[in-house]
C-alpha cells in the first residue's frame, strides 16, 4: 500500500497558506528519512548535547518550547540547558528560539524561567523571543529543535515530541525522577517520575520542521499585544523584534526509508497567523484519516485523554473492526491531584473513556504506570501506533485544546522497511508491519513489563501484547490489593479505574474545564461533533 493511504494530502491538510503546502510541488510529506525515538529525558538530553556541541560558526540552531528552566542539567557533570545554548552562541552558532511567554508565575506558570533563559542566551549572542501570539488562555506548546550545518549538511537533524527543556524531564527507565523536580501533587512524591519521548529525524523532513519554525519566527505580528504584557515586556527589555534568519538551505539529502509528514495545530485568531489565517488542524485530521484504517491494534500513550469528541473517531474504528483492540497508557492522576483539578479533568476523561468502552467493550485496555517503588509515573508522552504501520509522535495531547486551541507540532511516520517477524501482516489489505513502529511498540512494552531485550517473542503479535499487559496488570493489582505481601511482581502497569466525581463537582468542573482547561477553537458548526 502507498503512504498516501495513511498521510494527509495537501488538500486534506486544509491550510493552503502554509509553505508546507508548496515546498514539495504539492507533495504533502517527505521521503527518504531516518528516524529514531529517544525515550526519556535522560536519553534525549545527551543526544541533544552531542549534536549542539558539534556545531560551529555559521551553523544554525533553532528551537521552540513551552517551558525552559535555564538551570536544568542535561548530564551528570552539571552542564545546564542555558550553558549549552549560550556556549553555542559564543562559538558563532546562529541560535534562535521561540518560547511561549507563559501566563503569570502567580498562576504557577513559568514566566520568570522562560525570561531568564531568554536573557542569558541573548547576552551570549543568541536570540530568544517570548511569544504570546495565542488565543486568550492559550499557549505555544510546540517542542522542536532544528540543527543545520551549511558546510556539513549530512549532520543536519531535527527533534520533535513532548520533552520540554525544563525541570522534571531528565528521568530514565528506572523512573526515580529528575533530581531537579517541579512541584506536583503529593501523590507523585518529591521527585516525580516522568515518562516522555522525542523523535529525531534526519533527511529531507528536517527542512519541513525548519520551515514550520520560520513561519512563526517571520510572523510580523508583535510577540505581545495586550497592554499588560507589552508593559512588562518594555520594563524587562524583552526582544520584541526578531532579527532576520539567513535564507533556508536546501533540504538534506535522502538518507533512509522513513516517510515523514509534519503536522500542526494553530487556532484561528486575531490578528491572524499569516501562515494559517483560518487556523490549521492537521494533527486532528491526520488522526481522522489513520484511525479509521486500524484493524488490529491502536497503541496510545498520552498525558490526558480528554474530550469525547476526540475519542469519537477511535470509537468508530472499534465499531467498524470487531478484531480491533486499543491499549491506552496514561497518567493515573492529574498533576496537582486536587479536588478542583480533578473535578473537570477527570470528569472529561471519564466521558472520553466511556465513549471507547461503549464502542469496544473488553477490547479497550487502559493502564496507568508506577515505578518499582510503587510511586505513580507521570505519562507525558504523546504517541500513537496503528497496526505497526502508522506512527505519530509530537507535542499534542488527546484533547480539544491540543487539536484546536494551542499551537502544536507532531510528526507522522511510515517506515518503508517491512518487519520480517510473524505476523508480518496485520491488515486485510496486505499492508505489512514496519520496522520502526513495531520496534517502538516492543521497546515500550518491555519497559512497562520489566522485561529484557530478549523477552519479546510473545509480544510481536498484538494479541500477545494485549494478553501480556492484562496479565501483568492483574498480578500487580492483586499484589497491592493483598497488602503488598511477598515479592513485588514484575511490571509497572496498573489497571486504570476512573475516579468517581460527585455530581455537584462534576457540574462545576464541566464548565471550568471547557472554558479554561480544554477549550474548543473549531468553527461553531463543528463544535459538539467528531469533525475537525
Query: pLDDT-based confidence at 111, cuts 50/70/90?
Result: low
Cell numbers 469525547 correspond to 308
Q: Give a yes or no: residue 70 inside a domain.
A: yes
pTM: 0.96
Domain that holds residue 197: 23-256
At 300-314, the pLDDT tens digits run 999 999 999 999 999
Query: pLDDT-based confidence at 116, cuts 50/70/90?
Result: confident
Mean pLDDT value across the chain: 94
Q: Give a yes or no: residue 305 inside a domain.
A: no
Q: Give a yes or no: residue 30 inside a domain.
A: yes
Greater model confidence, 116 or 396: 396
Q: Give a yes or no: residue 71 inside a domain.
A: yes
- What is the pLDDT, as a whole number, of residue 110? 56
Q: DSSP letter string over 108-128? A: T--HHHHHHHHHHHHHTT-EE
Contact 494, 369 (CB under 8 A): yes
At 73-84, the pLDDT tens digits run 998 999 999 999
Among 250-254, 379-383, 454-458, which is the least confidently predicted range?
Answer: 454-458
Is residue 231 over pLDDT 70?
yes
Q: Give a yes or no: residue 516 inside a domain.
A: no
Q: Give a yes or no: residue 61 inside a domain.
A: yes
C-alpha cell at 336: 496537582
Q: Give a yes or no: residue 29 inside a domain.
A: yes
Is residue 107 over pLDDT 60?
no
At 127-168, the pLDDT tens digits run 999 999 999 999 999 999 999 999 999 999 999 999 999 999
The total of structural domains in the chain comes to: 1
Is residue 31 over pLDDT 70?
yes
Is residue 467 over pLDDT 50?
yes
- In sequence order, which residues have a C-beta less than 8 Å from that of residue 336 and are 6 or more positions away? 184, 185
Whether the bond between 204 and the residue before it is cis, its omega within 30 degrees of 0, is no
3 state SS of 232: helix
Query: pLDDT-based confidence at 182, cuts 50/70/90?
Result: very high
Mean local confidence (pLDDT), 464-468: 98
**Residue 264 vs residues 62, 133, 308, 312: alpha-carbon distances, Å:** 17, 15, 21, 20
Nearest to 68 by CA among 114, 13, 22, 10: 114
Is residue 106 over pLDDT 50?
no
- What is the pLDDT, as a whole number, of residue 503? 81
Is residue 103 over pLDDT 60?
no
Is residue 226 over pLDDT 90?
no
Q: Give a yes or no: residue 434 inside a domain.
A: no
Indicate which CATH number applies to the domain containing 119: 3.30.870.10
- What is the pLDDT, as a whole number, of residue 359? 98
Amino acid at each position: 500500500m502507498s503512504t498516501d493511504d495513511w498521510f494527509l494530502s495537501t488538500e486534506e491538510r486544509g491550510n493552503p497558506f502554509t509553505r508546507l503546502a508548496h515546498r514539495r510541488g504539492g507533495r504533502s510529506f517527505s521521503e527518504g528519512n531516518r528516524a529514531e525515538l529517544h525515550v526519556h529525558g535522560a536519553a534525549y538530553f545527551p543526544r541533544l548535547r552531542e549534536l549542539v556541541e558539534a556545531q560551529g560558526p555559521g551553523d544554525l540552531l533553532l528551537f521552540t518550547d513551552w517551558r525552559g528552566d535555564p538551570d536544568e542539567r542535561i548530564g551528570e557533570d552539571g552542564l545546564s540547558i542555558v550553558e549549552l545554548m549560550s556556549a553555542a552562541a559564543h562559538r558563532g552558532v546562529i541560535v534562535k528560539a521561540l518560547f511561549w511567554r507563559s501566563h503569570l508565575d502567580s498562576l504557577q506558570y513559568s514566566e520568570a524561567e522562560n525570561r531568564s533563559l531568554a536573557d542569558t542566551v541573548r547576552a551570549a549572542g543568541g536570540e530568544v523571543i517570548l511569544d504570546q501570539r495565542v488565543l486568550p488562555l492559550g499557549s505555544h506548546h510546540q517542542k522542536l529543535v532544528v540543527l543545520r550545518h551549511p558546510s556539513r549538511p549530512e549532520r543536519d537533524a531535527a527533534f520533535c515530541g513532548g520533552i520540554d527543556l525544563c525541570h522534571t524531564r531528565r528521568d530514565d527507565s528506572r523512573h526515580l525522577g529528575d533530581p531537579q523536580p517541579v512541584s506536583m501533587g503529593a501523590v507523585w512524591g518529591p521527585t516525580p517520575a516522568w515518562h516522555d519521548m522525542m523523535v529525531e529525524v534526519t533527511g529531507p523532513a528536517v527542512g519541513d520542521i525548519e520551515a514550520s519554525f520560520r513561519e512563526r519566527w517571520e510572523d510580523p505580528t508583535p510577540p505581545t499585544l495586550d497592554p499588560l504584557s507589552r508593559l512588562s515586556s518594555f520594563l524587562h527589555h524583552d526582544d520584541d523584534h526578531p532579527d532576520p534568519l539567513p535564507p533556508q538551505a536546501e533540504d538534506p539529502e535522502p538518507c533512509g526509508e522513513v516517510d515523514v509528514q509534519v503536522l500542526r495545530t494553530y487556532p484561528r485568531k486575531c490578528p491572524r497567523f499569516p501562515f494559517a489565517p483560518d487556523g490549521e488542524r492537521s494533527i486532528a485530521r491526520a488522526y481522522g484519516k489513520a484511525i479509521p484504517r486500524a484493524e488490529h491494534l491502536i497503541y496510545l500513550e498520552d498525558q490526558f485523554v480528554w474530550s469525547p469528541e476526540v475519542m469519537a473517531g477511535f470509537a468508530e474504528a472499534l465499531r467498524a473492526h470487531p478484531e480491533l483492540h486499543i491499549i491506552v497508557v496514561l497518567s493515573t492522576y492529574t498533576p496537582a491531584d486536587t479536588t478542583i483539578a480533578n473535578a473537570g479533568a477527570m470528569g472529561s476523561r471519564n466521558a472520553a473513556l466511556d465513549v471507547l468502552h461503549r464502542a469496544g467493550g473488553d477490547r479497550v485496555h487502559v493502564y496507568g504506570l508506577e515505578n518499582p517503588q510503587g510511586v505513580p509515573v507521570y505519562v507525558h508522552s504523546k504517541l500513537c501506533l496503528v497496526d505497526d504501520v502508522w506512527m505519530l509522535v509530537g507535542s499534542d495531547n488527546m484533547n480539544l485544546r491540543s487539536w484546536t486551541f494551542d499551537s502544536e507540532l507532531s510528526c507522522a511516520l511510515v517506515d518503508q522497511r517491512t518487519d520480517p517477524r510473524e505476523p508480518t501482516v496485520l491488515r486485510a489489505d496486505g499492508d505489512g508491519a514496519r520496522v520502526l513502529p513495531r520496534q517502538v511498540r516492543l521497546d515500550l512494552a518491555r519497559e512497562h513489563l520489566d522485561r529484557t531485550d530478549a523477552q519479546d517473542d510473545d509480544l510481536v503479535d498484538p494479541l500477545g501484547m494485549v494478553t501480556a499487559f492484562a496479565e501483568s496488570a492483574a498480578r500487580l493489582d492483586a499484589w497491592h490489593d493483598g497488602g503488598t505481601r511477598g515479592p513485588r511482581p514484575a511490571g509497572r502497569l496498573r489497571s486504570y479505574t476512573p475516579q468517581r466525581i460527585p455530581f455537584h463537582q462534576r457540574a462545576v468542573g464541566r464548565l471550568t474545564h471547557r472554558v479554561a482547561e480544554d477549550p474548543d477553537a473549531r468553527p461553531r458548526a463543528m463544535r459538539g461533533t467528531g469533525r475537525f
